[in-house]
Amino acid sequence: MAKVELKKIGKVYEGNVRAVEEANITINDKEFVVFVGPSGCGKSTTLRMVAGLEDISEGELLIDGKIVNDVPPKDRDIAMVFQNYALYPHMTVYDNMAFGLKIRKIPKAEIDTRVREAARILDIEKLLDRRPKQLSGGQRQRVAVGRAIVRNPKVFLFDEPLSNLDAKLRVQMRAEIIELHDRLQATMIYVTHDQVEAMTMGDKIVVMRDGKVQQIGSPLYLYNHPINKFVAGFIGSPPMNFLTAKVIEEGGQVMLDEGGFKLKPAAEHLALLKPYVGKEVSFGIRPEDIPVSEGGSAPNGVIKAKVTVVEPLGAEIHLYASTSTQPLVAKIPPHHLYKSGDAIAFAPVMEKARYFDRETELSILPVKFDEQA
Ligand code: ADP
């Protein structure tokens, strides 16, 4: 059992640098939670406070219901895997993995059993006599994970563990860490700036920005119900399109007027948009939700645009286009033969549209801050 709770956790570094503000996050037993956000948003600081490597300036950190703010790292029963692996260069793989157990005075036979078992799980049994410099990046990464596994900790922490690997290996290690989580049934917290890693690995994602938690939820909840423009734009690739449009009322019908075209919102969104009549909103639509309209028209209206760049990816095309004033990108099937300069019409799936307040950037559609709270 290991539940980790952050209650109004804050961090102010020397010189009055605020890195984290009022973070309220619950990591349930056996959960795989990913902290994601751009560089400098406070992810590592938050993780390091959980590990005990940074003092907690404000709030309470609980592990299994006990406040551990002042418990030293070695007594928190937590193991951390670092981005640079932090292996001892003069020690063999075996000794690197055994080291943490030796200093805890675990009997030799027990250490041997644990190291060999971890090596077996990670498929590095043949490397036990090598030194770190005789290993590839991926192998070093496995050793760093192995060193955490042998300790059989309550909680595993990962700080951007894959960022030094090439793209292909990263994808492979991603799958291995997910498998490891399923196998060990351990509580894991994983920090990354890569939204694809967050989406593919997390049971739950915590999106951070400027030291503040923006939203917490399952990958699909965040994808479909982003709380603000930042989360909407950060999760998903290519990112969600945002078109500024004015909400108007025409013959009793609420419509969106972009200037170059008009769209009829989905029935379930009309009441929420009504208070914005006469004002501009940010109309958010994902690239996969704007299929091309072959006939140039659609019941809810079309987005008229001009193709600017065509990126064929084999399985699909990323089509960059521009309305008279605003850029957008569409994901369309590979058979389309568009070229730069072509006139095009997209028929947005209006039920999938998101709307954001232009001033606060918050979702106009109702959304939960913490999906599971
Ligand atoms: P992330 O992991 O999301 O990239 P960090 O947690 O490393 O972000 O940093 C958050 C903020 O705290 C940044 O503005 C960073 O410059 C600042 N920061 C990090 N470590 C220190 C430190 N030791 N002293 C002062 N400021 C720091």
Each residue of 245-295: pLDDT tens digit?
999 999 999 999 999 999 999 999 999 999 999 999 999 999 999 999 988
Mean pLDDT on 114-122:
92
pLDDT for 169: 85
First to last CA, the chain: 19
- How far is ligand 1, taken at its centre, from the CA of residue 372, in Å? 28
pLDDT for 82: 85
Is any atom of ligand 1 closer than 6 Å to the C-beta of 282?
no
* Nearest alpha carbon, ligand 1 atom 14: 40
- 241 or 176, higher pLDDT: 241
What pTM did the predictor assign?
0.94
| Start-end of H helices in the chain | 43-51, 93-102, 108-122, 137-149, 167-184, 195-201, 219-224, 229-234, 270-273
Is any atom of ligand 1 closer than 6 Å to the C-beta of 43?
yes
If you compute the radius of gyration of the chain from its CA atoms, what whole number of angstroms results? 25
Is any atom of ligand 1 closer than 6 Å to the C-beta of 215?
no
Mean pLDDT on 57-81:
94
Amino acid, res. 305? A
pLDDT for 83: 81
- How far is ligand 1, taken at its centre, from the CA of residue 212, in Å? 13
Is pLDDT of 336 > 90?
no
Question: SS3 for 33?
Answer: strand
Question: SS3 for 203?
Answer: coil
Is pLDDT of 54 > 90?
yes
State the pLDDT confidence band at 373, using cuts at 50, 70 and 90.
Answer: confident
pLDDT for 163: 85
pLDDT for 318: 97
Which ligand 1 atom lies nearest to the CA of residue 191? 2
Is pLDDT of 1 > 90?
no
Mean pLDDT on 45-63:
96
pLDDT for 313: 95
Share of the chain above pLDDT 70, in %: 100
Q: Is 194 exposed, middle or buried (0-12, 13-18, 19+ CB in 10 A)?
A: middle
The average confidence (pLDDT) of the chain is 95
